[in-house]
Amino acid sequence: VDGKLTDDQIKVLQRIKPVRLELAHASFDNQQLESLKDFPLIILDLRGTDITDEGIEKLRSIKTLRTLVLEDCQKIGHRGFKALSTLENLEVLSLRNTKVSDVDVEALLPLKEMKLLYISKSEAITDRAVDTVLKFEQLISLRIGSTSLTKAGIEKLQKHPNLSFLGLRDLSIDDEKMPSQFAEGLTMLDLSGNPFSDTSLKKIVYIPELWFLDVRGCPHLSELAVHALNTKLYYRQYKICLSDYIPEVAKIAMQTETEWYLEPNVYSNKSWNSMEFRKNLLSSDYLLEGKQFNPDQLQIEETPER
């Protein structure tokens, strides 16, 4: 739905009873939101809307909901975040660029099925939120970049046993702040926008399952180092993002951006049809072209065979 949601559109929706509804950047009133309770919704995309706490409370009766996208929704407060805790089947929740805080993340603990959680771009998220995140036992994907995390919080995150994707973008991670060890189960790691140097790459080499690394916008990372690392780990199909010329992952993997949120397991190469996803992702040329270098110029130890 584009623009303003009309009553006529609501009537059409009542007839077709959709399981997936995109209202991104649309305008609507709370009465219209209340009508959604009659739909067997699995996916609801409300990103970039003016939904309020009262509006969130209207969604509490949609017990079929598995995916809820609320990023860029700036009018949700503590009351609204707490109301989300009643959506017991929720697996995917994006609260990126909202006013979500440590207390609000704690209020979400009743969501035992949570697999993908985005709480990035909020200064109110601190190390305290990490203690809560570790209690989401089913969680496999987390974005927590552009927050107030310290080195201690980043280190503690590595204790989560099931994390497959970890987004640590724009956290001022330099060589001193880089974790001494990453979670062994990581397959995808976003470290973009951080000022670490080639030295920290040696730590990343030893992540056993890692095959995707985003280091765009890392000013102290040399092109030679990244290319050498990529070449040395080519047998693992290791892929490194170096520039912003990257097709949207959503367009590679699925039809629309909302569809990307449907399957949290796309972040894991141990489930879903991850090999097909991986093949599609790796088919695009992400690396800088025309660079002549000798991989042996960078002395990075190989990952021991397991």
* pLDDT in the model for residue 184: 86
* pLDDT in the model for residue 241: 55
Who wins on pLDDT, 59 or 246? Answer: 59
Interval 208-225: pLDDT, tens: 887 778 888 889 988 777
- Locate the DSSP E strands across 49-140: 67-69, 92-94, 116-118
| Among 162, 149, 164, residue whose Cα is nearest residue 119 | 149
Interval 69-118: pLDDT, tens: 999 999 999 999 999 999 999 999 999 999 999 999 999 999 999 989 99
> What are the strands of the beta sheet with 67-69, ordered from one edge?
20-22, 43-45, 67-69, 92-94, 116-118, 141-143, 165-167, 188-190, 212-214, 239-241
Asked if 238 and 69 touch (Cβ cutoff 8 Å), the reply is: no
Residue 288 has pLDDT above 60, yes or no: no
Who wins on pLDDT, 96 or 287? Answer: 96
Who wins on pLDDT, 229 or 218? Answer: 218
Q: How far apart are CA 76 and CA 58, in angstroms?
A: 13
Residue 185 has pLDDT above 50, yes or no: yes
* pLDDT in the model for residue 224: 78
Residue 62 has pLDDT above 70, yes or no: yes
Q: If pLDDT is split at 50, 70 and 90, which confidence band does 230 have? A: low
Residue 24 has pLDDT above 80, yes or no: yes
pTM of the model as a whole: 0.80
* pLDDT in the model for residue 209: 80
Interval 131-180: pLDDT, tens: 999 999 999 889 999 999 999 999 999 999 999 889 999 999 999 999 99
Residue 20 has pLDDT above 90, yes or no: no
Percent of the chain topping pLDDT 70? 73
DSSP bridge pairs for 22: 45
- Arithmetic mean of pLDDT, 5-11: 91
| Residue 237 neighbours by CB distance under 10 Å | 13
Who wins on pLDDT, 226 or 137? Answer: 137
* pLDDT in the model for residue 216: 82
Who wins on pLDDT, 187 or 262? Answer: 187
Task: Provide CB contacts within 8 A for 46, sequence distance 6+.
Answer: 23, 24, 68, 69, 70, 73
For the chain, helix, strand, coil in percent to 5 are: 35, 10, 55
Lowest mean pLDDT among 81-85, 234-238, 282-286: 282-286
> What's the number of CA atoms in the CB half-sphere (13 Å) around residue 274?
15
Read off the DSSP letter of residue 38: G
